Amino acid sequence: MFKANTLNLRLVIIATMGFLMLIPVSRVSEIVYERQSLYNSVLDGIANIWGQPQSLQAPVWVIPYTEKIIEQENITDKDGNSKTVNRTRYNQRQAIALPQQLAIQAQLHEQERQRGIYHALVYTAEVELTGQFLPPDINSLSNHIEQIHWDKSFIAIGLSDTKAINQVSKLQWNSRPQTLSPSTRLPDILPQGFHALLSDFAPQSQYNFQLKLNFNGSTGLRFAPLGETSQISLQSTWPHPSFQGDILPAKHDIHAQGFQAQWSIPHLARSYPQLWQLPDDKHNLTAFAVGVDLFEPVSLYSQVMRAVKYAVLFIFLTFITFLIFELSLALKMHYVQYGLIGAALCLFYLLLLSLAEHIAFLSAYIIASAVTIGLITAYTLSVLKKIGRSLLVMFMLTSLYTVLYSLLQLEDYALLVGTSLLLLVIALLMYVTRNISQTAFAQNP
C-alpha cells in the first residue's frame, strides 16, 4: 500500500498526469490531420482547374483497312436438297502502328498557386515530339485484306487532361502541316487526347513527324515510350525530383538549380508490339511509362506531425526534472502546477501549426518554442523562487527544442538520432536519480 506523501505515490500521480497530457496531444494530432485533409482538398481543387497529373502517349498511327472473308455454308432447300454456297463478309479493322524512332524533349516550369492560406506546386510543360515511322506491313495482320484505306489514316495523341492544354502546334508530317482535331478516335486505348487526319497521304519510304505541345499539370508527368527506340529528355529548375515509372533514367543530374534526366528505352522493355489491329487486340498504352514527380521533401503538416510524436518525451522529461528539483529543494509543487506546465508543452504544437500555415516553418518554430520556453521558465521562477533552477529548465527546454528541430530536418536519419536521444536521456536520468532516497518526502512532509 502506498502511503500519502511518499515518493512512490507522488511518482504514480505525476506519471498518471503525464499520460493524461496525451489526451490534448492526441487532439492536436486530430487537428493536424483535419488541416492536412483541407489542404489536400484545396490542392485537388487547384489541380482540377490548372491541370491534373499528366500522362502523354504519342504518336500512334491508325490505318483503317477492310477484310473480305468468303465463307462456305451448307444449306438445305425446301425439297431437302443440300448445296454449298459462298457467303462474303466484310470486316472493318484498324491497324495500330508505333514509331520506329521517338525522341521526346520536355521542359517543366514549376509555379506556385495560392488559394486562401494554401499554396500548391504546379507546372507548365513544353514538350517536343520528333521521330519517324516506317511503312507498316498491314498485310501481316490478316490474310483477307481487300483494301487499305491510307487516305483515312490518322495520327492519335493521348493526353490524360486535355482541358489543361495551352497551345499545340500543327503536326508536321514529312514537313507538311496537318490540322489537329479533338478526340483520339480510340476510346478503348486512348480515351483522352486529339488526332490529325492524314487526308493527303502519299506513300514514302519513311514518314518523319514533329509536334510541339504546351500544357499545364500538377504533381507529376509521365511518358509512354512508344518508339522501337525511345529517347526521352526531361529537365526542370525544380531541385527535388522523384523519378517514377517502370524504368529509372539512364542518366540524371540533380543540383540546387534543378535537374536533368534522360531515358533510352528499347521496345523490348514493354509488353505491347509495334503493330497490331483493333478491335480484336487491345493493349494498354499507359501500363508502361516513365516520368517524374515534383517532390516536396517535407511538407508542413508532416513536420508538425513528426514533432507531435516527440510530445511524450518532452512532457515526461520536464515532469521528471521538476520532480528532481522537489527532492533537491525539499519543496513540493502542486499537481495543478504540473498540469499547467504540461498544458503549455501541448500548446506548443498547436501554436506551431497555426503559425506555420502563415509564415515560414523555421520562423514559426522559433516563435512557438520561444513562447513556450519563456512561459514555462517564468512560471518555474515564480514557483521555485530559484533563478538558477529556472535557468536550468530554460536550458533543458532550449536544448530539447533545438534537437527536435534537427530531427525534423533529418529525413533519413530521424529514427536513428531520435532513438539515440532517448537512450541519452535515460542514461542522464539514471545518473541524476542514482542517490534518490525512498524516504525523501517522508523526511520532509
Give the Cα separation of 313 and 104 in Å (integer). 52
Predicted confidence (pLDDT) per residue in 66-123, tens digit = 999 888 777 777 777 777 777 888 999 999 999 999 999 999 999 988 888 888 899 9
| CATH of the structural domain 52-67+88-294, one choice from 2.60.40, 3.30.450, 1.20.59, 3.30.410 | 2.60.40
Give the Cα separation of 392 and 399 in Å (integer). 10
Q: Helix crossing, 335-356 with 7-20: angle to 10°?
A: 20
Give the Cα separation of 404 and 396 in Å (integer). 12
Predicted confidence (pLDDT) per residue in 227-249, tens digit = 999 999 999 999 989 999 999 99
CA dihedral of residues 171, 177, 180, 184 (deg, nearest 10): -50
- Higher-confidence residue: 302 or 62? 62
* The model's pTM: 0.78
Q: Helix crossing, 311-329 with 361-384: angle to 10°?
A: 20
Residue 103, beta-bridge partner list: 130, 231
Map grid coordinates 483494301 to a residue. Answer: 147
138 contact partners, CB below 8 Å, separation of at least 6: 63, 65, 95, 145, 148
| Cα Dmax for the chain | 125
Cβ–Cβ < 8 Å for 256, 239: yes
pLDDT surpasses 70 at 437? no
Predicted confidence (pLDDT) per residue in 203-219, tens digit = 899 999 999 999 999 99
Q: Which residue ranges make up each domain of the chain?
A: 7-40+300-432, 52-67+88-294
Of the candidate ranges 138-152, 242-256, 398-412, the one whose mean pLDDT is the lowest? 398-412
